[in-house]
Amino acid sequence: MSRIDEITRYIVAEFAPDIRADELDADYDLLDNGVVDSLGLLRLIGWLGERYDLPVDDIDLAPEQFRSVRAVDAFVESALVKGPAL
Amino acid sequence: MIKWTDEQRTLRAAAAELGAVVGKDHLERDATGTFSEQGWALVRESGLLGLPFGAEYGGLDADLLTTMYVLEGLGESCRDGGFPFSVTTHVVSTGVPLQRFGSDELKQRYLPGVCSGSAIGAHAISEPDAGSDMMAMRTTAVLDGDDYVLSGSKSFVSNGPIADTFMVYARTGKSGAPDAITTFLVERDSPGLHVGQPMGKMGLKTSPLSELFLDGVRVPTSRVVGKVGAGFLVLDHVMKWEILLSFVVNLGEMEHRLAECVRHARSRKQFGRPIGSYQSVSNKLVDMRIGVETSRKWLYDTAEKLVARKAVTTDIAITKLVVSEANVASALAAVQVFGGYGYMTEYGVEKDVRNAVAGTIYSGTTEIQRQRVAAMMGLG
Amino acid sequence: MGDHLSGLIDSHAKGTAVSFNGADVSYRELRALVADALRVLDGLPAGRPVALHVRKSPESVALVLACWAQRRPFLLPPADLGTDARAALYRQAGCGHVLHADLTTVDTGEPADEVPELDGVGPMLTTSGSTGLPKVVPLPHDGIDRFTDWAAGAFGITGGSVVFNYAPLNFDLCLLDIWTTLRRGGHVVLADQERAVDARYLLRAFTHARVEVVQAVPLFYRRLLEVADGPFPDVRELVHTGDAMPPALLARLPEFFPNARLRNVYGCTETNDSLIHDSDPTSADPVPIGRPIDGVQVRLDGGELLVRTPFQAGRYLDTAIADKWVEVDGETWLRTGDLVRQDADGVFHLDGRADYQVKVRGVRTNVQQVEQALQSHAEVADVVVLAVPDDEAGYRLHAVVRAVDGTRPNSLTLRSHCARLLPRTAVPSSLELTADEFPRTTTGKVDRKKLLAERV
C-alpha cells in the first residue's frame, strides 16, 4: 500500500467512517469542511509522528500542511527527507 | 524509575534552597496578594529561569526531565505557592514557544530576556466569552501593511500586572477552523495595549493576574511566532510544557505536605497514642502517598514519552487531571490531619487548599481534560 | 335540534357529513349522534366546563358539536396525555366531568366554585408548555366564527366540498378541516389518528372520497407519496403546515396533485392561521411563510415574529404564564418564538426557532438554518441537526440525515455542501446517515429530545 493510500485510510477510518477510502479525493479540503477539527489535527499529527517516525516536535508545523491528503503526504515526504533531527 | 545524576541533584538542591528563602514571608504576602520582587531577583540570579533554553541565549540547556526535577525541588521547599506559578508561567508562556517556533531573529531578541528574567513573560489566551475554548476566541488580528492589528480583550492573564512580554493568541482565520489562530509576541509598551488592574482570586494570590485589553495594537509581522494559522499547534506545545512544569511543582508541594502530615501524625498524641496509629488518619496519609506516587509516575512517564517523540495528547490530559485532583485531595486531607490548626490561616495549611483548586481550573478544567481524552479515543 | 346546531352544521346540508375508516355518516345520522350527546350533557350542571377524553371518530365529533351547541366550554387535551397531567388540566379548567366518546361520564371531583372565568369560550385546546404540563388555550366563540368565515372563503369550502382531515381532534387545524367543513355543509374525511403513519391506510382513507381540500403536516404527504400510484386530480387546495416542508418533497407534489393550489399556512394554536404563502414547487429554497392573512397584524422584535389575529385566544387559561402574550400599544400580541426575516417583496421567511439558537464556539448558530442548508442538498430527504452540549465548544452540531431513496450521499459531499452555505462553526462536527424513520411526537414533528437522548 502506498503512503498516500495509507494516510487516506487512516483519515477515513478516524474522521469519516461512513465513506470508502476511494471516495476521499486527495485534494478534498479537510479543514474548511470540518472533517478534521482542532483536536482531530492533534490526533492526526500524533499518528503521523508515530507511524512514520517523524520529528514532529522539531518541524515548524502549520495547519496548512494537513489541509488535504495530498498535503499531508507532502508533509511526511519533506519531514522524512530532512531526517530525524535531534 | 529515573536515576538522577549528581549534577541534576545539585541543581535541584539549589532550587530548594532558593524556594525556602522566597517562601519565608509567604503568609503576609498571601494575605495582601503581593508578588515577591525579592524572590524574583533571587531566581534571576540563580539562572533557573533559563533552565530549558539554549546556552547561546543564556540558558542552561537542561532537558525537559531535568527542568521538571529542579522545579519539583522548588515546589517542595517553597511555601509560597503563587511564586513558582509565576516562574513556570514566565518560562512556558514566552520562552517555550519562542524556542520551538520562533524565528532566529525573535529568539535572539527575546530569549535572553526570558533566560535572565529581565523581561517577565505572560500569555493571553482565554477570553470573557470563550472560556476554555480557544477556537471560540474573538480577539482578532487583521493584516494591515507590514503589521497585524490586534483588537479584543483577554481574561485571566497570569503575570499580567508584572509582565513585559505577552504572547497573545488571536484569530486570523474563520472562527472554529483549526487554522484560525495565530500567536503574536506583544511588548507591554505597545500603543493600544492596556493591562487591567490585578484581580482578586481564591488562591495563588501572590501570583498576580489581570485582564488585557487590545485596542488596535499594531504588531509587526516579524513578531508572529510560528506560522500564521499555527496558533493552535503553538498552544498545544505550550500546554504540554505548562502542564508538566506547573504540576511538577505541585508534586513537590504534595511531597512536602505529606512529610509534614506524617511527622505531625507520629508526634501528636490523642488518648495516649499518636494520631497516626488511628486508621482514620493513617488511611488519609496512605491516600496522600498514593496521590504523590501516581502523580510522579504520570508526570515523568508523560515527559519521557514526549522526549521520545511519542504522541502524548491523551497522556497530558490524564496527567493534568490526575495531579490537579490529587493535589486538592492532599490539601484537604492535610487540613483534616492537622485538625483545628489546619483550619487556621496562620499555619499555612488552608492556603494550600485554595491554591490547589486553581490547578483544577487553569490549563483546561478537569471536565475539559476528560472530554479531550474522549475526543482522542474518537468519541464525539 | 335545528336551533341548537344553527351555525355549527349547515341547516340545509344533506348527504355524507363524515367518513371514518370506510364508513359514511350522513348529516341526518350526525344530528342523531349530537342529540344523544346532548341528552347526556343535559344531565350535567349547566354551563360548567367539561373535559373530553376522546380520540377522533364520528361520535367524538358529535360530542364536540353538542358542547358547542350548549355553548358549554370544553377542554380537549391530547389523547395520550398522562393521567396526572390530565388531572392537572381538569383542575385548571374547572371541569366537573370527563366525557368519553361512548358518552360515559366520570365525575372529576373538582369543586364547582373553582371554575375559571370562561365567558364566551368554546374549545379549550392545549399547546406544549416549557414545564411539561401543556398550556390551556381558551378559544373564544367569536374568534372561531371569524376563522371559519375566513377559511371557507380562502379554500372554497361549500356544501358538498370534500375535505380531508389528518390532524388529531384536539388540534387547532381541525377548525379548518372539520369544523369549517360541517358549518358549510361539506363532507369531511377523517384519518384515524391511531394509524397516522401507516402509509397504506392513509392512501385508503384519502381515496375513500374525491377529496378536494387537504390540509396536513409534511409527514402526511411523504407517507402518501410513498405508496400512491397515480395522481389525485380532484384536489384543488393543498395546504401544508405545522412543520418545514422539505423542498424535495414539495417538488414532487405537482405530479400527484396536478390541479391543486399548493399553500403553506403558518399559525399556532394560540392565534390560529396567521400567514399564508403560495408554495413554489420549483424552488429549492425553504418555503417562505408568506404574508399575513386578512386582518392579521405582524411585527418583529429582535428578529422574532409577533402576531395578532382576529382569531386569537389572547391569553392562556393559567394567566400566570404571561411570557408569550405581550401588550404592545394597548393591544395583545403573541410572541411566536419564531425568527423570521422579510424579503424585498414583503414575504416573510422562517429562520428558525428563537429557542433553537445555540452558541457553537461562541458563535450564535441556529440549528434549523443548518438543517435548511443540508435539506437543500439533492440527495437529502430529511435531516435533523442536534445541538449536543460540549464542555469545550458549548455545543457541537450533530446531523442525522436520511438520504433520498437510491442515493448514497456521504459525509464529505454533505460537508462541502454545508461549507459553501454556512459559516465554519455551523458545519456539523459529525454527520450520521440513517435509514430509520425519525421518531415523531404526537403532533407529527420530529422528536428531537428522543433523537438527542439516543445519542448522548
Task: Identify the CATH number of the domain in which residue B96 sits.
Answer: 1.10.540.10
Range(s) of the domain holding residue B148: 121-229
Identify from B125, B126, B133, B181 which residue to disrupt to test chain C contact, counting C C-beta atoms within 10 A and taking the largest count.
B133
* DSSP letter for each residue of C309-336: -TT---S-SSTT--SSEEEETTEEEEEE
Residue with cell 477570553: B127
Query: Residue A67: which residues within 8 A CB-CB, separation 6 or more?
Result: A29, A30, A31, A32, B179
Q: What is the pLDDT of residue C353?
A: 72
Q: Which of C362, C423, C425 sits opposite B130 (nearest CB)?
A: C362
Q: Does B215 share its domain with B276? A: no
Q: Does A29 touch chain B (CB under 8 A)?
A: no
For residue A83, give how far its alpha carbon lies from the nearest alpha carbon of chain C (Å): 34
Give whole-number Cα distances, B365 to B111, B324, B360, C412, in Å.
30, 10, 5, 33
pLDDT digits over C344-382, tens only? 999 999 877 777 878 787 677 888 889 988 998 999 999
DSSP B48-113: GGGTTS-GGGT-----HHHHHHHHHHHHHH---THHHHHHHHHIIIIIHHHHHH--HHHHHHHHHH
Q: Domain locations in chain C?
A: 16-349, 357-453
SS3 label, residue B309: coil
Range ranked top by mean pLDDT from B21-30, B313-322, C237-246, C326-335: B313-322
Range among A21-25, B49-53, B368-372 rated most confident: B49-53
Looking at the complex, does the CB of residue A63 fall below 8 Å from at least one CB of chain B? yes
Residues B74/B82, Cβ–Cβ less than 8 Å: no
Decide if B255 contacts B76 (C-beta within 8 A).
yes
- Reading the block at residue C218, the C-alpha cell is 409534511
Residues in C touching B367 (Cβ below 8 Å): 391
Least Cα distance to C261 among C224, C215, C219, C293 occurs for C215
Nearest to B176 by CA among A41, C406, C15, C41: A41
* DSSP conformation class of B160: G
Residues B144, B210 share a domain: yes
Determine the distance in angstroms separating the CA of C423 from the nearest CA of chain A, rounded to an integer: 10
Pick the residue with more confidence: C199 or B57?
B57
- The predicted-structure confidence for A42-66, as pLDDT tens digits, reads as follows 889 989 988 998 888 778 888 999 9
Q: How far is C352 from chain B (nearest CA, A)?
A: 22
Residue B324: the pLDDT is: 96
Within this chain, do residues B207 and B248 fall inside the same structural domain, yes or no?
Answer: no
**Start-to-end CA span in chain B (Å):** 36
Residue C128 has pLDDT above 80, yes or no: no
Cβ pair C361:B174 closer than 8 A = no
**Residues 6 or more apart whose Cβ sits within 8 Å of residue C345:** none
C361 contacts on B by Cβ (under 8 Å): 130, 133, 135-136, 175-176
Q: Which residues of B touch A67 (CB under 8 A)?
A: 179
d(CA B149, CA B143): 6
C-contacting residues in B 73-102 (Cβ below 8 Å): none
Predicted confidence at residue A70, as pLDDT, reads 96
d(CA B149, CA C372) in angstroms, rounded, equals 36
Domain of B307, CATH number, reads 1.20.140.10
Question: CA C382, CA C284: separation in Å to the nearest integer?
Answer: 14
For residue B136, pLDDT beyond 90 = no
Asked whether residue B263 carries a pLDDT value surpassing 90, the answer given is yes
Query: Which cell numbers hold the place of C261?
Result: 393550489
Write down the mean pLDDT value for chain C: 90
Q: Which of C397, B177, B235 is closest to A29 using CA atoms?
A: B177
The pairing of beta strand C74-75 with beta strand C121-127: parallel
Q: Which positions 15-54 of B are in contact with C (Cβ < 8 Å)?
A: none
Distances (CA, A) of A55 to A52, B53, B257, B276, B307: 9, 19, 39, 50, 10
Own/partner pairs for C334-337, CB < 8 Å, 24+ apart?
A: C334/C268, C334/C270, C334/C271, C334/C306, C334/C307, C334/C308, C335/C301, C335/C304, C335/C306, C336/C268, C336/C304, C336/C305, C336/C306, C336/C307, C337/C304
Q: Among residues C268, C212, C220, C213, which one has the least CA distance to residue C246?
A: C220
- What mean pLDDT is predicted for residues C442-456? 79
Domain residue ranges of chain A, discontinuous segments joined by +: 3-85
Residue C57 — very low, low, confident or very high, per pLDDT cuts 50/70/90? very high
Task: Decide: helix, strand or coil at residue C266.
Answer: strand
Residue in C197, C274, C199 with CA at minimum distance from that of residue C241:
C274
* pLDDT value at residue B311: 84
H-run or E-run covering C189: strand C187-190
Q: What is the topology classification, in CATH, of domain C16-349?
A: Rossmann fold (3.40.50)
Strand pairing class (B273-274; B269-270): antiparallel
Q: Which CATH class is domain C357-453?
A: alpha beta
CA distance A20 to chain C (A): 9
Whether residue B136 lies inside any domain: the answer is yes
> Is residue B376 less than 8 Å (CB to CB) from chain C?
no
| Maximum C-alpha span of chain A | 40
Contact across the interface for C425 and B176, Cβ inside 8 Å: yes
Confidence band, pLDDT 50/70/90 cuts, at residue B259? very high
- Predicted TM-score (pTM) of this structure: 0.66
Nearest to B375 among A39, A54, A64 (CB): A39
Q: How confident is the model at residue C52 (pLDDT cuts 50, 70, 90)?
A: very high
Which CATH superfamily includes the segment(s) A3-85? ACP-like (1.10.1200.10)
Cross-strand partners of C163: C188, C213
Report yes or no: B154 at the C interface, CB cutoff 8 Å: no
**Type of residue at C454:** E
What's the CA dihedral at B334, B338, B340, B344 to 10 degrees? -60
- Of residues C257, C267, C217, the one with CA closest to residue C237: C257
Listed residue (B288, B290, B295) closest to B260, CA to CA: B288
B181 and B278 fall within a common domain? no
Give the bridge partners for C395, in sequence order. C389
Task: Please judge whether C412 and A35 are an interchain contact, meaning their C-beta atoms are less than 8 angstroms apart.
Answer: yes
For residue A83, what is the enclosing H or E element? Answer: none
Note if B242 is an active site residue. Answer: yes
The CA radius of gyration of chain C, in Å to the nearest whole number, is 22
Residue C434: closest CA among chain A residues belongs to which residue? Answer: A18
- Domain limit, last residue, from B65, B87, B116: B116
Does residue B1 belong to any structural domain of this protein? Answer: no
Give the integer Cα–Cα distance in Å for A24 and C369.
27
Least Cα distance to B39 among B94, B85, B7, B70 occurs for B85
Alpha helices in C301-403 (DSSP H): 367-375
Residue in A with minimal Cα distance to B98: A60
Residue B14 clears pLDDT 90, i.e. is over it: yes
- With beta carbons under 8 A apart, name residues in chain A contacting C429: 34, 37
Determine the 3-state secondary structure of B374 from DSSP: helix
**Number of domains making up chain B:** 3
Q: Are B361 and B209 in contact (CB under 8 A)?
A: no
Cα–Cα dist C253/C373, whole Å:
21
Length of chain A: 86
CA–CA distance, C437 with C447 (Å, rounded to integer): 11
Residue C440 pLDDT level (bands cut at 50, 70, 90): confident
* C238-264 mean pLDDT: 93
Contact criterion met (CB below 8 Å) for B154 and B198: no
Cβ of C392 within 8 Å of Cβ of B137? The answer is no
Alpha-carbon span B215 to C226, nearest angstrom: 60
Please tell me which residue of chain C has the smallest CA distance to B138: C362
Alpha-carbon span A4 to A10, nearest angstrom: 10
Q: Kindly state the average pLDDT of the residues C278-290.
A: 94
Give the pairing of strands C291-292 and C16-20. unpaired
* CB proximity B136 to C under 8 Å: yes
Tell me if C360 sits within 8 A of C370, measured CB to CB: no
Residues of chain A with pLDDT under 50: 84-86
Position C334, amino acid: L
Report pLDDT for B189. Answer: 95
Which residue in the set B177, B232, B309 is minimally distant from A57, CB to CB? Answer: B309
- For residues C242 and C268, what is the distance between their CA atoms, to the nearest angstrom? 8
Quick one: DSSP state of residue B207? S
Beta bridge partners of B215: B151
The rounded distance, in Å, linking the Cα atoms of B173 and B279 is 58
DSSP structural state of residue B125: -
Q: Which of B211, B242, B325, B350 is catalytic?
A: B242
Tell me which chains share at least 3 CB pairs under 8 Å with chain C: A, B
Q: Which residue in C362, C390, C396 is closest to B129 by CB distance? A: C362
CA angle B150-B152-B157, nearest 5°? Answer: 100
Do residues C292 and C308 lie in contact, with contact meaning Cβ atoms separated by under 8 Å? no
Of A14, A46, A64, the CB nearest to B313: A46
Which of B227, B237, B378 lies closest to A14 in CB terms? Answer: B378
Instruction: Report d(CA B93, CA B154) in Å as an integer.
Output: 15
